[in-house]
């Protein structure tokens, strides 16, 4: 029997549901999510293996026009650099909306030579079928060679159809990964991302964008895994907000993160967190590389 294996990039502007879609397809959470835009910062590979087909999904940061800091430019590079090495692109849109960042993505796709699938997400939130039909008609004119498919990554509507369509365009190839592997990322990376998700969800509008995580120690024991984490911010005031009154906010973040990390690792975890100030880390290419932002 012929085997197939190929890469699929999930791209789009921030907050259209890329990570939610990947997690649903895999049946397991490996990509962090929140309602705040630009939550995803790195490329993340999710592996879905069927009997004769292995699909390698690349979740990417949201592509955005405003690039005020080095980390914004890094995220755009991380998203766009994948286009030259994938077989299929899923271009996610948020219902009937079309904004300047969607146009930026569309422009980047002009030179893409593989299979393009335009995915209209969040259809469970549409008020009427007519809205969807009008959008589909416009998109077909804009992307005449693309397949169009409406889905809901939250409810799973039409995702089985989307997966079938993707598999039709996977090239003949041996599998690249073992059949039971679901990501190429390390446990240390997934732990850091889990903590960043809790920070993003619990903090206000500004602070999540100046927070990054470093895993200082990751020691597996027979009964307990000990993990030491440093959370970097850029200003003393941000540190005080993150820690909270008498350390209450940091304690809650740690408790919530530890529960998810224990599920992820299937082991008891002793988690220690520290908060430090690293001025200007998000606008320094050198600092970004030192903190693990080296996908591209």
**Segment 61-116, tens digit of pLDDT:** 989 887 778 988 888 888 888 898 999 999 999 998 899 999 999 999 988 999 99
What domains are defined for the chain?
A: 4-168 (3.40.50.300), 187-290 (3.30.300.20)
First-to-final CA distance of the chain: 36
- Confidence tier at 127 by pLDDT (50, 70, 90): confident
Dist. CA 150–CA 55, nearest whole Å: 20
Is the Cβ–Cβ distance between 171 and 7 less than 8 Å? no
Query: Which residue reads 């008891």 in tokens?
Result: 268
Q: What's the distance, CA 290 to chain centroid?
A: 21
63-76 pLDDT tens trace: 988 777 898 888 88
Residue 198: enclosing H or E segment and its boundaries? helix 187-202
203-220 pLDDT tens trace: 877 787 889 999 999 999
- The mean pLDDT of 7-13, rounded to a whole number, is 96
**What does the longest C-alpha to C-alpha distance in the chain come to?**
63
If one counts every other C-beta atom within 10 angstroms of the C-beta of residue 189, the result is 17
Confidence at residue 166, expressed as pLDDT on a 0 to 100 scale? 98
- pTM comes to 0.91
Confidence at residue 12, expressed as pLDDT on a 0 to 100 scale? 95
Contacts of 127 (CB under 8 A, 6+ apart): none
Confidence at residue 59, expressed as pLDDT on a 0 to 100 scale? 94
Does residue 296 register a pLDDT over 70? no
Bridge partner list, 270: 226
Higher pLDDT: 206 or 136? It is 136
Is the Cβ–Cβ distance between 192 and 214 less than 8 Å? yes
Output b/e per residue, 27-55; b: 16+ Cβ within 10 A.
Answer: eebbbbbbeeebbbbbbbbbbbbeeebbb
Residue 45: enclosing H or E segment and its boundaries? strand 44-49
Query: Which residue reads 């080095």 in tokens?
Result: 70
147-161 pLDDT tens trace: 999 999 999 999 999
Confidence at residue 67, expressed as pLDDT on a 0 to 100 scale? 73
Contacts of 30 (CB under 8 A, 6+ apart): 22, 23, 44, 46, 182, 183, 185, 190
Is the Cβ–Cβ distance between 85 and 5 less than 8 Å? no
Dist. CA 83–CA 295, nearest whole Å: 14
18-54 pLDDT tens trace: 999 999 999 998 898 888 877 888 889 999 999 999 9
Is the Cβ–Cβ distance between 7 and 88 less than 8 Å? yes
């Amino acid at each position: 029997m012929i085997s197939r294996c190929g890469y699929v990039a999930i791209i789009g502007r921030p907050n259209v549901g890329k990570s939610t879609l990947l997690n649903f397809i895999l049946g397991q959470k490996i990509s962090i999510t929140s309602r705040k835009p630009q939550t995803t910062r790195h490329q993340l590979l999710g592996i879905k293996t069927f009997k004769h087909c292995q699909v390698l999904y690349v979740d990417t940061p949201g592509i955005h026009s405003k690039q005020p800091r080095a980390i914004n430019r890094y995220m755009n590079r991380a998203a766009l650099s994948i286009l030259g090495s994938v077989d299929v692109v899923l271009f996610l849109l948020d219902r009937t909306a079309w904004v300047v960042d969607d146009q930026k993505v569309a422009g980047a796709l002009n030179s893409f030579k593989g299979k393009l699938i335009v995915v209209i997400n969040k259809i469970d939130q549409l008020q009427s079928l007519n809205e969807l039909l009008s959008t589909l008609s416009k998109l077909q004119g804009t992307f005449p060679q693309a397949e169009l498919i409406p889905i809901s990554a939250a409810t799973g509507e039409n995702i089985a159809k989307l997966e079938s369509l993707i598999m039709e365009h996977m090239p003949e190839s041996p599998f690249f990964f073992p059949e039971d592997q679901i990501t190429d990322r390390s446990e240390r990376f997934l732990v850091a991302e889990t903590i960043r998700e809790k920070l993003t969800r619990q903090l206000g509008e500004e602070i999540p964008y100046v927070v990054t995580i470093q895993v200082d120690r990751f020691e597996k024991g027979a009964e307990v895994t000990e993990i030491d984490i440093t959370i970097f911010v850029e200003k003393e005031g941000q540190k005080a907000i993150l820690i909270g009154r008498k350390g209450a906010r940091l304690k809650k973040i740690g408790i919530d993160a530890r529960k998810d990390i224990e599920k992820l690792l299937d082991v008891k975890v002793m988690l220690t967190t520290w908060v430090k100030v690293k001025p200007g880390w998000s606008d320094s290419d050198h600092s970004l590389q030192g903190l693990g932002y080296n996908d591209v």
